């Protein structure tokens, strides 16, 4: 779940962050077999992106196709071109050589340096031990907390 402090932070930073098309998000979450009570699901059921990261151009993508690129589109792209690990989704595009990768079941987020990476499917079990991993978060909530704390700074 999203903490009240994180909810307040998101509301204060984004001009119109509140979701209007929750039914569309629910359908996507069901297609991904994501528990609607998870932090990932609650974030996208309540807030619309994309969100821009501080001090860099990497965006936290929107899940629906109201914005392009989006999570579903980039997940398909990375699956086709890099062999995305099962149950992982792309939270960012690859415009700057960096990918934020989220594991739907294990609830970790990894920041991957795509320079020289040909395949991502070997990252599924031990993503943080790989040389390509720049940063790691033990949960989507931890990732969001750092993302929005840094954005506010």
Mean pLDDT, each 10-residue run in order, the chain (153 residues): 79 72 93 94 89 73 91 95 90 90 93 83 58 84 86 53
CA–CA dist 124, 36 (Å, integer): 23
pTM of the model: 0.87
Rounded CA-CA distance 38/55 in Å is 28
Q: Identify the pLDDT of residue 15.
A: 59
Tokens read off for 123: 């990252």
Distance CA 18, CA 15 (A): 9
Q: Which pLDDT does position 151 carry in this prediction?
A: 55
């Amino acid at each position: 779940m999203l903490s009240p402090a994180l909810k307040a932070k998101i509301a204060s930073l984004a001009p119109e962050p509140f979701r209007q098309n929750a039914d569309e998000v629910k359908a996507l979450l069901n297609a991904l077999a994501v528990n609607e009570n998870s932090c990932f699901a609650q974030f996208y059921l309540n807030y619309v992106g994309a969100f821009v990261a501080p001090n860099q151009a990497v965006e936290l993508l929107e899940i629906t196709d109201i914005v392009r690129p989006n999570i579903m589109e980039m997940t398909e792209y990375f699956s086709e071109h890099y062999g995305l690990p099962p149950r992982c989704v792309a939270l960012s595009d690859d415009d700057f050589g960096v990918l934020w990768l989220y594991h739907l079941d294990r609830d970790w987020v990894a920041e991957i340096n795509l320079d020289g990476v040909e395949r991502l499917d070997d990252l599924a079990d031990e993503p943080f031990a790989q040389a390509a991993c720049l940063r790691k978060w033990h949960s989507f909530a931890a990732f969001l907390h750092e993302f929005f704390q840094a954005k506010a700074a």
